[in-house]
Structure 1
Amino acid sequence: MEGVSAYYILIGAAIIIIVSYLFNLIAKKTNVPSVILLISSGYLAKELLGFNFNEADWFLPLELLGIVGLVLIVLEAALDLELKKENLKQIGSALLVSALSLFFNTFLLAIGIQYFIGNIDWLSAIIYAIPLAITSSAIVIPSVSGLPKEKKEFLIYESTLSDILGIMFFYLLLENINENGATMIGVNIISNIGGTLILSVLLSYAMIFAFQRIRSDVKLFLFFAVLILIYDIGKLFHLSSLLMILVFGVILENRKLFFFGPLKKYLIEENVSKVLVDFKLITKESSFVVRTFFFFVLGLSITLAGVFVPKILLLTAYFMVGVYGFRWGLFKVMFRKNYFPQFLIAPRGLISVLLFFAIPIEFRINDFELGILTLSIIVTSIVMAWALVHDRLGRMGRIKRVLPLLKVVKKVGLSREDEDKTSRQSDADE
């Protein structure tokens, strides 16, 4: 990158954002996820322009974009979660699916890593498996906008909860790895989650209190800065930082439920609702920009040489069969019918990359190829794209089949209406 003019970098950044916007339009029309197009364009740009990156070059940009993107994506999802009685059953189902899928996928892949890669202890295999076991909300949320409301909401809940549970599982395992006994680890995990929840609620009340009273025109990015600060400080103190972001977003969106009784007098609803509209818009816009650059940079980092390795292809095939087989069985038992395309929507993405490179040096596996990460992201995204396109075409076909019937019904209705008018006119003449 030495010797490259700042103007060229800005031109490139502007083109990437414009192209990403066009990809979003294409995604809405075709249901092909925009992230596949972004990753592909990043890879093509690297090949055409002759960029030569190694891991050290792109790890820091990916990590920074990943952290900011993670906070924004979870916040965006949390601000869309309405805690209503009719939603509780769906949230409970999403929590069960995300938890069962996470733990099953982790142990399934850990077994596969030990078998296909070889000479790996059980703990290291689990640590490597967790990032690949998480469904990426960064890919799911923008991709399912064309689905019916109930299916879309379920997938948003499931992917967001999968992110949160996966990150908590990953860091709690690393932070308690030297503890003696499962009981001690369990106590630490429960106390960590409990302490984080209490702190999250208190911070959320304090931030909403400040949120509604700051009169300055420049305040929305101030809150983003505070949220990033809270997230990073929480990580330094080994707290479940993502849970704090989720709690803040949920309390802000459902403030009337949390500001009850004597707390009501501390909520200035008019001020909050007025600012919240802009806050949601900026969150969505910022999430779009960060997500765009993250997946484009990920495309720049891809090397196909590490993908077409026999053991990587076999491990990926084994994992994909296990993941989708388990999801099919789980969805069939829980929902019995109408579970397509949901069971095929389980992409890997931002979280997988972010956690993959957060694995401590002492647990790094020299023989573990990055191709498994790349291939998992590509394959799961392609499967999701096929499912969404197939579902869209199926719904369009059903609409076309129903249209002639609707026309007949309409004609029958009109003819009956004409008969009624004629009858009324005859009665009037008489």
Structure 2
Amino acid sequence: MSKIKHHVKFVPIILLIILIYAILKTYHLPALIFILFFGLFIGNLDELKRFKYIDKLHPEILNNEVNKFKELTAEMTFLIRSLFFLFFGYSIETSELLNTDTLIWSIAITVGIFVLRATFLKLFKLPANPLLFIAPRGLITILLFMSIPLNHSLKIANKSLIIQVIISTGFIMMYGLIKTKKVEPKIVENESNRSI
């Protein structure tokens, strides 16, 4: 990105990522893990400056480009998530949402998620509020569920179960964020600005 002088810089990078993903999926390698490592690499160039070959990438220039790329990625992510959930909502049937066969399982999974989260927060001595409530299942859960081959799928782990877990964790997150009071930034007065 630091070498490209043309005004179109980011589309070739996105196409390169898609190409990497397609090649790795062809060879049955964990494509998303490699893309994660690529993201970690370009997002943490400052920590890698001590290596000589990083200097050839011109990290000062590249950091500016990466910041622009982050803004573009954030907007694209929002758009893709919105469209994906619109499609997902359109495909949901009321019978799947109110399926009583999977309701007990979905409640158990949701409780398990939050118990596990509370345990880790206590273990690492982190504040429970609001971190405990922010544990939604969403886009990745749907994508992983849809990628399960039919011959490996379980009868109980069906679309109804996934929908119920996603919606219940979403509502719990909403409750936690509403309940959490917004902390107002404290204004520190300078003694020299005070007038009597």
Give the Cα–Cα distance (whole angstroms) in 2 for the partners of residues 269 and 321 of structure 1: 45
Deviation at 1:332, TM superposition (A): 1.9
The CA deviation at 1:252 is 1.5
Instruction: Name the structure, 1 or 2, with higher relative contact order (CA <8 Å, separation 6+).
Output: 1
1:45-77 CA deviation, whole Å, 9 max, x = no partner? xxxxxxxxxxxxxxxxxxxxxxxxxxxxxxxxx
Which amino acid in the other structure matches residue 68 of structure 2?
A: D
Is the Cα contact below 8 Å between 1:259 and 1:267 reproduced in 2?
Answer: no
Q: Unmatched 5+ residue regions in structure 2?
A: none
For residues 366 and 320 of structure 1, do their structure 2 counterparts lie closer, same or farther at Cα, with a shift above 3 Å needed? closer
Deviation at 1:261, TM superposition (A): 4.7
CA contact 2:117–2:132 (8 Å) conserved in 1: yes
In the other structure, the counterpart of 1:320 is 110
* 1:73-117 superposed Cα distances (whole Å, 9 cap, x missing partner): xxxxxxxxxxxxxxxxxxxxxxxxxxxxxxxxxxxxxxxxxxxxx
Matched residue, 2:134: 345
2:20 is equivalent to residue 230 of structure 1: yes
How many correspondences in the alignment? 194
Partners of 2:195 and 2:74 lie apart in 1 by 49
State the 1:283 CA deviation.
Answer: 1.3
- Residue in 2 that maps onto 1:3: none
Q: Which residue of 2 aligns with 1:380?
A: 169
In 2 relative to 1, CA 364–254 (structure 1 residues): closer, same or farther, beyond 3 Å?
closer
| Residue identity matched to 2:141 | S
**d(CA) in 1 for partners of 2:36, 2:154:** 33
Q: Partners in 2 of 1:271 and 1:338 — Cα distance? A: 38
Q: CA RMSD in A?
A: 2.7
Structure 2 equivalent of residue 303 of structure 1:
93
Q: Taking structure 1 as reference, are residues 268 and 319 closer, same or farther at Cα in structure 2, changes over 3 Å only? A: closer
Q: Distance in 1 between matches of 2:52 and 2:155?
A: 59
Q: Percent identity?
A: 28
Residue 358 of structure 1, aligned match among 147, 152, 165 = 147
Q: TM-score, normalised by structure 1?
A: 0.41
> Which aligned segments of 4 or more residues in structure 1 are displaced greater than 4 angstroms?
none
Q: Which residue of 1 aligns with 2:82?
A: 292
Aligned counterpart in structure 2 of residue 333 of structure 1, from 105, 119, 123? 123
What SS class does the counterpart of residue 216 from structure 1 fall into? coil
Aligned with residue 242 of structure 1, among 20, 24, 32: 32
Query: For the Cα contact (< 8 Å) 2:134–2:176, is it kept in 1?
Result: yes
Give CA-to-partner distance per residue, 1:386-426, whole Å, 9 cap, x none: 101111xx345xx5xx99xx9xx98xx79x953xxxxxxxx
Q: Normalized per residue, which structure has more helix? A: 1
Deviation at 1:253, TM superposition (A): 2.4
Unmatched runs of 5 consecutive residues or more in structure 1: 1-210, 419-430
Alpha-carbon distance change, 315 to 279 in structure 1, aligned in 2, over 3 angstroms: same
TM-score, scaled to structure 2: 0.84
Matches within 5 A, 1:23-422: 211-335=1-125, 338-366=127-155, 368-391=157-180, 394-395=181-182, 418=196
